[in-house]
Amino acid sequence: MDLRLAALAILPALLLTVLQARADTPAKPPGMAELLAASTAEDWRDPDPEQTLYLDLAAGRVVIELAPQFAPNHVANIKTLVRAGYFDGLSILRVQENYVVQWGDPNAEDPKLKRSLGQAAEKLDGEYALDRSPDLPFAAARWRSLCGVLPASAPGFPVAGSGKRIWLAHCYGMVGAGRGDTSDSGNGAELYVVIGHAPRHLDRNVTLVGRVLSGMERLTTLERGKAALGFIDKKETMTPIQSIRLAADTPAKDRSALQVLRTDTPLFEQLVEARRTRREDWFLEPTGRIELCNVPIPVRQTP
Amino acid sequence: MDLRLAALAILPALLLTVLQARADTPAKPPGMAELLAASTAEDWRDPDPEQTLYLDLAAGRVVIELAPQFAPNHVANIKTLVRAGYFDGLSILRVQENYVVQWGDPNAEDPKLKRSLGQAAEKLDGEYALDRSPDLPFAAARWRSLCGVLPASAPGFPVAGSGKRIWLAHCYGMVGAGRGDTSDSGNGAELYVVIGHAPRHLDRNVTLVGRVLSGMERLTTLERGKAALGFIDKKETMTPIQSIRLAADTPAKDRSALQVLRTDTPLFEQLVEARRTRREDWFLEPTGRIELCNVPIPVRQTP
């Protein structure tokens, strides 16, 4: 598809201005700001309240969209924990520079003090990758492997693939379920968020369960833990978790009104193309490539 | 080179223990922790005090190693500014989530209030890339392009390359010189540090001048700016810069005693290999790849 023609269809007024201002040069394709400004209501979706978590801290809320398509058992277990109030009053245990923020039960290693998992499973097999399938809504996307030129970000998550397998990628803001040394030692009771350069070596080694939609700054600005691996050694200095709730269980007036850009639209294709070949005035060298974790999946306040 | 043989030469006692414990399985190559524990004084270097900056904030110090090999004119200009006390009392102007922290003169746009650059140049041509040359110490390293399998991180910086050209890469912790829309509009008076996933689309678009060796957490935990692009709109809420000094101009007792792992050694090659194919017990899938910005260039307190 000729990107300029598509842009002309979407942004006639804007591009007319550009054409008038630069009659001597061809019109440039629109950048992300112009594309989002020209988006319509149909380009956005409301995250499913049954698959949306609110992590509430004293500093404010972190909104997480779960990925049941990729990690159905972990997501179900996390929802069981959340609905039992398991996380309420637990703590952020680890803040490691350029790596992760992690939370859970500070007493998890103490059989007497640790909180019961209730009806939730204690052990779950890792959910690391899926077979590519024409039935999956993201199967039609164009993939490349780890350092792909074009991403498969559908539906709303960064997806990497190789051969017949696809998997969620450890990009900034992705949420995973910590585990011990064995593959079945995680259960979703200890969760982490990537806060630095994507640690892609974790891909297919640990189960990713979702993505932070808003509130990353409430995690990234936390004081770094002083013990090895960024763990916080004194319980009294840990940031408490007020609660984790499903949006579906939250009264309408207390919900966060957010929308996510759909990734199965022509607009998203244009957005990726605009980010792959940067044409804003500031850019001298348009690169021509984009790495999976640099592909934006925009979130906005519901208008 | 057989990595296990090399490791045996370095780590006989450690590997003997491993072999005894796992007589039924082949010895695993050492991980990063073991490699660094077995390093010798010759594996580390002292950063040149003439090429090391101390950015002092109320919260503590950020140490930056400059890269005159890649950006000689910008580095020289920055040193002229630093030695004239240009940055002392200026401010952090921008803290953008998953992107950059940036500092400079809050009044740079006001001809009456802006601070004089003194003897420093006001405009410098961008220093974006170099011709690969056998005379350069890093020319012997093995490169790959943007998403390389093996990095060329010498001497102490992440380096990308394509064809005959090489350039510093916008990895986490890299320091660059902001510029306006034209290539010659930067001068080093406004500097930024990457605090998120590597924005590799900035490579070859803006001049990188060095890397943060320590103190990243003093930048990454700053409150995010509330204006567009993370700029801080109220001057009274900006974090002040107490001073920026060259280590060479700092009394010995006030210097930060840091060493950087040399990148021109067999140990560094082993370290990259150990990170490329993760063999620690926790890893199920060793990946077999490493992205340039995930290659560690360790820094330690001078023993």
**pLDDT score recorded for residue B265:** 85
Residue boundaries of the structural domains of chain A: 3-43+261-301, 49-259
Q: To the nearest whole angstrom, how far is the Cα of B83 from the nearest Cα of chain A?
A: 30
Nearest CA in chain B to A197: B197
pLDDT tens sequence across A223-269: 999 999 999 999 999 999 999 999 999 999 999 999 999 988 889 88
Chain A residues close to B172, C-beta within 8 Å: 98, 196-197
Question: Is A221 within 8 Å of B224 when comparing Cβ atoms?
Answer: yes
CB–CB of A145/A160 below 8 Å? yes
Collect all residues with Cβ–Cβ distance below 8 Å to B40 and sequence separation of at least 6: none
User: Which CATH code for domain A49-259?
Assistant: 2.40.100.10
What is this structure's pTM?
0.88
Chain B residues close to A198, C-beta within 8 Å: 197, 291, 294
**pLDDT score recorded for residue B150:** 39
In which element (H, E) is residue B33 found? Answer: helix B32-37
Mutate to test the interface with B, among A204, A220, A280, A299 (most CBs of B within 10 A): A220
Check if the interface score ipTM surpasses 0.90.
Answer: no
Sheet holding A299-301, edge to edge: A44-45, A258-261, A299-301
Confidence class for position B147, pLDDT limits 50, 70, 90: very low
Tell me the C-alpha distance between B244 and B299, whole Å: 21
Question: Is B285 within 8 Å of A204 when comparing Cβ atoms?
Answer: yes
Tell me the C-alpha distance between A155 and A140, whole Å: 11
**pLDDT score recorded for residue B144:** 38
Mutate to test the interface with B, among A195, A284, A293 (most CBs of B within 10 A): A284
**pLDDT score recorded for residue B13:** 33
Question: Is A200 within 8 Å of B172 when comparing Cβ atoms?
Answer: no
Confidence class for position B182, pLDDT limits 50, 70, 90: very high
CB–CB of B74/B207 below 8 Å? yes
pLDDT at B6 over 50: no
Chain A residues close to B289, C-beta within 8 Å: 146-147, 200
Question: Is B171 within 8 Å of A290 when comparing Cβ atoms?
Answer: no
CB–CB of B194/B171 below 8 Å? yes
Core vs surface per residue B276-299: b (16+ CB within 10 A) or e: bbbeeeebebebebbbbbbbbbeb
pLDDT at B180 over 90: yes
Nearest CA in chain B to A289: B201
Amino acid at A138: F
Minimum-distance CB partner of A171 among B181, B197, B201 = B197
pLDDT tens sequence across A279-299: 888 999 877 777 788 889 999
Determine the average pLDDT of the residues in B60-84: 97
The CA-CA-CA angle for residues A77, A83, A85, to 5°, reads 105
CB–CB of A261/A43 below 8 Å? yes
**Out of A147-151, B84-88, B134-138, B152-156, least confident range:** A147-151
The CA-CA-CA angle for residues A59, A62, A67, to 5°, reads 165
Cβ contacts from A onto B, under 8 A? 114
Tell me the C-alpha distance between B14 and B21, whole Å: 11
CB–CB of B206/B176 below 8 Å? yes
End-to-end CA distance of chain B: 30
Residue A9's Cβ-count burial label (10 Å; 0-12, 13-18, 19+) is exposed
Amino acid at A95: V
Chain B residues close to A283, C-beta within 8 Å: 201, 205
The A-side interface with B (CB below 8 A) comprises 97-98, 126, 128, 146-147, 171-173, 180-181, 183, 196-201, 203-205, 216-217, 220-224, 275, 278, 281-285, 287, 289-291, 293-294
Question: Is B172 within 8 Å of A196 when comparing Cβ atoms?
Answer: yes
Determine the average pLDDT of the residues in A24-32: 73
Question: Is A294 within 8 Å of B197 when comparing Cβ atoms?
Answer: yes
**pLDDT score recorded for residue B131:** 84
Mutate to test the interface with A, among B285, B294, B295 (most CBs of A within 10 A): B285
Q: To the nearest whole angstrom, how far is the Cα of A97 from the nearest Cα of chain B?
A: 7
pLDDT at A149 over 70: no
SS (H, E, C) B103-130: EECCCCCCCCCCCCCCCCCCCECCCCCE
Chain A residues close to B199, C-beta within 8 Å: 294
pLDDT at B246 over 60: yes
Chain B residues close to A171, C-beta within 8 Å: 197
**pLDDT score recorded for residue A246:** 98
Chain B residues close to A223, C-beta within 8 Å: 217, 221
Nearest CA in chain A to B221: A221
Determine the average pLDDT of the residues in A131-137: 64
Question: Is B216 within 8 Å of A98 when comparing Cβ atoms?
Answer: yes
Q: At what angle do helices A3-10 and A266-276 cross, to 10 degrees?
A: 120
Q: To the nearest whole angstrom, how far is the Cα of A287 from the nearest Cα of chain B?
A: 6
Determine the average pLDDT of the residues in B78-97: 98
pLDDT tens sequence across A185-224: 999 999 999 999 999 889 999 999 999 999 999 999 999 9
CB–CB of B194/B46 below 8 Å? no
